[in-house]
Each structure stands twice: as structure tokens, then as C-alpha cells.
Amino acid sequence: MADAASNPPVLRLVNAEGAKAHRALRNRTIRANRASAGLDPADARWVFAVRVSQTLEGGRAAILRPQRRRALLTQARSMGLRDFDASLVIAIVQDGARTGDGALGPSVEQRVALVRRSEPKAIDWRPAVVAGLAFGIALLALLISWVS
């Protein structure tokens, strides 16, 4: 028993070259996936990030005045972003500018891609249909009373 504890079995990797080739292929695949995962230029999150970067003042200080922030949040709402998500994008762009990565650098793009996309709100047509029907019935009743 003491002999086995003092001399543990030696493990050796079978087909070490194949394992290296597999790791290399996996790493290339991961890099390709990350490179292709960039944001679409028309993505609302990226468009908003560009607008934020254009609004920042002070170079690396990345200052955003309160009135400009409010205007940006209004723009974000019109693009379908929630205030919380828009504030995250603002913080990411400011951080990129302050750390020297660039306000729209690759690391900023990756982090902006993590911000939740807003789902388009479904329009509930039922109230409009009910109101239209009620208006049509009232108009028909008015027409009948006028004719008779």
C-alpha cells in the first residue's frame, strides 16, 4: 500500500499531436465566432453608442452634461431602448474613452453587445376594434333615427 502511494502511476497522453491540432482548431473557431459576433451598424445599441461618443466632451475625461444626457435618453427611448439599457451604453462608452480603449473600440463594441436588446412592444388592437365597432353602431343608430 505504501509502495503505491509513493510511486503514483504515470499518465501519458495518447495522440498528443492530435490533441494539439484539436485545441488549435477550437481556438481558431472561438476567435472567428467572436470576430463575427460584432454588432450590426444599424443595431440600435450601436447607433446609440455612436451618438454618445459624439456627445462626450473633454477628450479622455469623457464628460457628459446632464442636459445632454437627458437628450440622449430621450433619443434612446425613441430607438426602443429602455432607460436602464441606455444608461449602461453611456457608461460603457464613457469607460472606453476614459481607459484609453477608445469610445468606440473593439472592447466597447463587445460590451455594448452584452446590453439587452429591447423587444418591440406588441400593439394591442382590441381597444381600437371595440371603439370602432361602438362608433359604427352609434353612427348606424343615428342614421336609422334620421331616416325614420
Q: Using one digit for the tens of pLDDT, what is the confidence trace for 79-91?
A: 888 899 999 999 9
Q: Using one digit for the tens of pLDDT, what is the confidence trace for 18-73?
A: 667 767 777 777 666 555 556 666 678 888 888 988 888 888 788 888 899 999 99
> What is the Cβ-side half-sphere exposure of residue 13, based on CA atoms within 13 angstroms?
6
Tell which wins on pLDDT, 148 or 70. 70
**Torsion angle (degrees, nearest 10) of CA 34, 42, 54, 48:** -90
Nearest to 78 by CA among 29, 111, 43, 44: 44
